[in-house]
Amino acid sequence: MKRIAIVAAFVAGAAGLAASRLPAADGQAIILPGTGGTSLAQEQGALKDARRQSEEARLRSERMERQAAAARDQADQARRRAAAMAARIQQSEADIEAAQARIRIVARLQRAQAARLAAKQEPVVRLTAALQMMARRPLALALVQPGSISDAIHMRAVLGQVLPVVRERTAGLRAELDRSRALRASAEQAADSLAQSQADLKQRRVALQTLEAQKRLAAQDYRANASLESDRALALGERARDIVDLMDKLEEAGDLRDRLAALSGPVLRPARPDQVAAPAPERIAGPSAAPPYRLPVVGQLVTGMGEALPSGVRSRGLTIATRPDALAVAPTAGRIAFAGPYRGYGQIVIIDHGGGWTTLITGLLRLNAAVGDSVRQGDPLGSAGPGRPTITVELRRNGRPVNIVPLVGLG
């Protein structure tokens, strides 16, 4: 009877092995615990976006480095090198986002893989237990025990039927173990990539500080009336009812400035005598040409234009969740009309692009730009705060909000 029980246990273990089915792989829409409420498809999309932003930043940096090499005067060269380094910083920020997204994806796949491996190991464990029970009974004793010959014949028949299934399933188990090792190797590569990107970011921030100092030294003809113009902008900010009113007042001041500059005879002295008009966006022929407009920071879009905000009003621009201390750059060329803190918006920057076009950037913690500065696309403006900061960018033309999405290629 004991021998029959052993055979029954073996058959049960083998049957469990044959009937076992792996759980489905982690689906595109499945959300697992500990993933922050995101699906695999969302994380893969974040990885794709981060890699795209990294490549775009790399191309921008190369383009600006070529411009710096072709610059004729020291001040222009220092300025373009700082812009190139700013693009390198944003490339590192995007690389960090990509590495973190890859780590999250691999961790999710590892959890799903562990579940599948556990499901496949369970029947193998039961089969091993049955085989161990058989192994404990000596062969000589089996030959003298009544009924043992028939049990042995029965066992041989069972083995003949089950062994092919055992081989198939254990081969599948080995394949699962190979996939587990491959995922572990991918996790290690992603961790190494993250560490390298973080080291690059640290070095490039230090390099940008050095270049910013060189740029200030090279521009010794800094405007003499800087404080006067800054005081005028701050006074407008104090009188404005809200941020929209502030932009309207600055646009009116910009229009008056343009009309006075267009008069014949004596003209209004510009903030910087060497730059009478706001520069137009620079273009270079070829596939890596600068777009007319770009987002000021690297990150994920969290609020689109026209979406309802918690305050109940509709968004007039785009809100981007970015990295701690993320660098913000000029979306396109123009002149700084306002730079400073403003009523719950953090440090803000308003850029007058000329022709009725203005850009508002809010949510910054530190500013590198000052009122009256002339900026080109990609020039550093400031940086975001700690945690998971959000930066909002709005583009207006003649006081009306403009959808940025078609300009930056997100549509």
Q: Residue 220: what pLDDT?
A: 55
Asked if 304 and 405 count as a contact pair (C-beta separation under 8 A), the reply is yes
Q: What is the pLDDT of residue 267?
A: 47
Of the two residues 292 and 125, the one the predictor is more confident about is 292
The CA distances from residue 208 to 203, 297, 351, 381, in Å, are: 9, 16, 22, 12
Q: With contact defined as beta carbons under 8 Å apart, do 338 and 354 qualify? A: no
Q: What is the pTM of this model?
A: 0.67
What pLDDT sits at residue 288? Answer: 45
pLDDT tens profile 52-100: 999 999 998 998 888 888 887 777 888 888 899 999 999 999 999 999 8
pLDDT at 389: 93
Considering only residues 272 and 203, tell me which one the structure prediction assigns the higher pLDDT: 203
Q: Name the percent of the chain lying above pLDDT 70.
A: 61
Q: What is the DSSP letter of 308?
A: B
H helix count then E strand count, the chain: 8, 11
408 vs 37 pLDDT, higher one: 408
pLDDT: is 336 or 279 the higher one? 336
pLDDT at 382: 93
Residue 279: band (very low, low, confident or very high) from pLDDT cuts 50, 70, 90: very low
List phi, psi (to 5°) of 346.
70, -155
- Which of these ranges, 93-97, 189-193, 247-251, 303-307, has the smallest mean pLDDT? 247-251
Of 83-87, 116-120, 128-132, give the lowest mean pLDDT range: 128-132
Render pLDDT for 168-187 as a digit per residue (tens, 0 to 9).
666 666 777 778 888 888 88
**Pick the residue with more confidence: 283 or 294?**
294
Q: pLDDT averaged over the chain?
A: 74
Let me know how long the chain is: 411
Q: Which fold has domain 226-263+293-408?
A: Glucose Permease (Domain IIA) (2.70.70)
Question: Is the pLDDT reported for residue 122 higher than 90?
Answer: no
More confident residue, 136 or 209: 209
Range with the lowest mean pLDDT among 112-121, 190-199, 376-385, 401-410?
112-121
Q: Residue 210 corresponds to which tokens in the numbers above?
A: 């050095």
DSSP H helices in 37-147: 40-70, 74-135, 139-144
> Taking the domains of the chain in order of start, what are their residue ranges?
2-218, 226-263+293-408
Q: What is the pLDDT of residues 220-255, one digit of tens each?
A: 555 544 555 666 666 666 666 677 777 777 777 666
Across the range 375-395, mean pLDDT stands at: 92
233 or 103: which carries more pLDDT confidence?
103
Q: How many CB atoms lie within 10 A of CB 318?
A: 23
The pLDDT score that the predictor gives to residue 369 is 87
Instruction: Calculate mean pLDDT across residues 284-305.
Output: 74
Looking at per-residue confidence, does 219 or 349 come out higher? 349
Q: Decide if pLDDT at 297 tops 50.
A: yes
